[in-house]
Homo-oligomer: A and B are copies of this chain.
Amino acid sequence: MAATVYKALADPTRRRILQLLRERDMTAGELAVHFESSKPTLSRHFSVLSNADLIQGTRDGNRIIYRLNVTVLEEALLTMMNMFSIEIVGGDKNEQ
């Protein structure tokens, strides 16, 4: 896993973006509705996530649709679990 992934996950706005994309693909504008930051600021967050390969954007005419790279996120977390030799049993949901 690239080191960029950890940095990408370190920011609360970016974690929230990933959570939103977990539910469905969204355009930059749709995502922006959920935040108070300016669009340029969010755009840079997108690019950080994109560089970490956690999300991927495809242009659709006027807009850019972002989707979560689920497997990359999964592998990143599993790698961390292994890195620290954490064993798993079960689990619930939600939290920030």
Chain B residues with CB under 8 Å of A96's CB are 83
Q: Interface size class for chain A? A: 20 to 34
Stretch at the interface among A2-10, A31-39, A59-67: A2-10
Query: Contact: A78 with B91, CB < 8 Å?
Result: yes
- Rounded to whole angstroms, the CA-CA distance of A69 and B12 in the bound complex is 23
Query: Contact: A95 with B73, CB < 8 Å?
Result: no
Interface residues, chain A, with chain B CB atoms under 8 Å away: 1, 3, 6-7, 9-12, 15, 18-19, 22, 73-74, 77-86, 88, 91-96
Chain B residues with CB under 8 Å of A88's CB are 78, 88, 91
User: A3-B12, A10-B7 are contacts. A82–B77 as well, Cβ < 8 Å?
Assistant: no
